[in-house]
């Protein structure tokens, strides 16, 4: 464990980041980006979100904010994803009379998990909780009411977001991924990134999962796709990929 003092918006903050190896500048060579997945109020217990993930409390959000600020300081380019649903979204249980949140139904030949209304466009719960100015881009997803969208790269109907285009235009070759939730949007984003040819690292300690069993399965699924899972940020491991 290493104590570090950083300056954020003119305020000195003492933070502790758990690292296997000391943080150092990004090594020369392949460009590495960071994707912070769905750090939005509706997914946190801190903001009493409508679809709060267990463990996504104020301390967790602060840990993610501190780690993200440090990565930017060390030369990483930051990107975010943001659920941005219309009120008539297919995944909302409220749009399926007679069904309840967390039930699974068949819609157009696909299994659809029904969720409480969350991250509705323009609402406080949809806001990204980190300083939006630190991101090169925040990619919105889930805007098509007909399809769910866990991945920051595409929705369940196969429509691509601009994420891959943005990353390739910037010359990114490696990606560090973390956020909410491990077993849904983090997993989908990481797996699609690997499928698009990026070397991918997921920081488990900067994620939280919806359920323990699906989180374990998600970590194994990501490993099976060649994704590196790190407990905490380890610059040497990331640079060595």
Which H/E stretch holds residue 33?
strand 31-37
CATH superfamily of 21-84+119-240: Isochorismatase-like (3.40.50.850)
State the pairing for strand pair 172-179/11-17. Answer: unpaired
- CA-CA distance, 25 to 199, in Å (whole number)? 19
Model confidence at 133, in pLDDT bands (50, 70, 90)? Answer: very high
**Residue 46, both tokens:** 């801190």
Q: Residue 7 above 60 pLDDT?
A: no
Assign residue 138 a region: left if phi > 0, alpha if psi is -120 to 50, beta otherwise? beta
Residue range 28-41: mean pLDDT, rounded: 90
At 166-215, the pLDDT tens digits run 999 999 999 999 999 999 999 999 999 999 999 999 999 999 999 999 99
At 205-236, the pLDDT tens digits run 999 999 999 999 999 999 999 999 999 999 99
- Which residues are annotated as catalytic? 38, 141, 185
pTM of the predicted structure, to 2 decimals: 0.88
At 44-93, the pLDDT tens digits run 999 999 999 999 999 999 999 999 999 999 999 999 999 999 999 999 99
Which H/E stretch holds residue 195?
helix 187-195
């Amino acid at each position: 464990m290493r104590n570090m003092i950083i300056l954020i918006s003119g305020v000195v903050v003492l933070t502790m980041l758990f690292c296997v190896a000391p943080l150092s500048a990004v090594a020369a060579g392949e460009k590495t980006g960071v994707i912070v997945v769905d750090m939005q109020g509706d997914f946190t217990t801190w903001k009493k979100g409508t679809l709060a993930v267990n463990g996504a409390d104020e301390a967790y959000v602060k840990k993610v904010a501190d780690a993200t600020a440090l990565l930017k300081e060390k030369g990483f380019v930051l990107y975010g994803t943001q659920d941005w649903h219309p009120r008539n979204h297919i995944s909302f249980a409220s749009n399926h009379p007679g069904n309840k949140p967390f039930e699974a139904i068949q819609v157009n030949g696909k299994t659809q998990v029904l969720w409480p209304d969350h991250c509705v466009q323009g609402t406080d719960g949809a806001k990204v909780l980190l300083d939006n100015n630190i991101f090169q881009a925040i990619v919105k997803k889930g805007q098509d009411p007909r399809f769910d969208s866990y991945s920051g790269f595409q929705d369940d109907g196969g429509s691509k977001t601009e994420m891959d285009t943005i990353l390739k235009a910037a010359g990114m070759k490696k990606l560090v991924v973390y956020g909410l939730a491990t077993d849904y949007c983090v997993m989908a984003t990481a797996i699609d990134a690997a499928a698009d040819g990026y070397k991918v690292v997921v920081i488990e300690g900067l994620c939280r999962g919806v359920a323990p069993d699906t989180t374990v399965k998600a970590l194994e699924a990501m490993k099976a796709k060649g994704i590196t899972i790190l407990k905490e940020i380890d610059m040497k491991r990331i640079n060595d990929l």
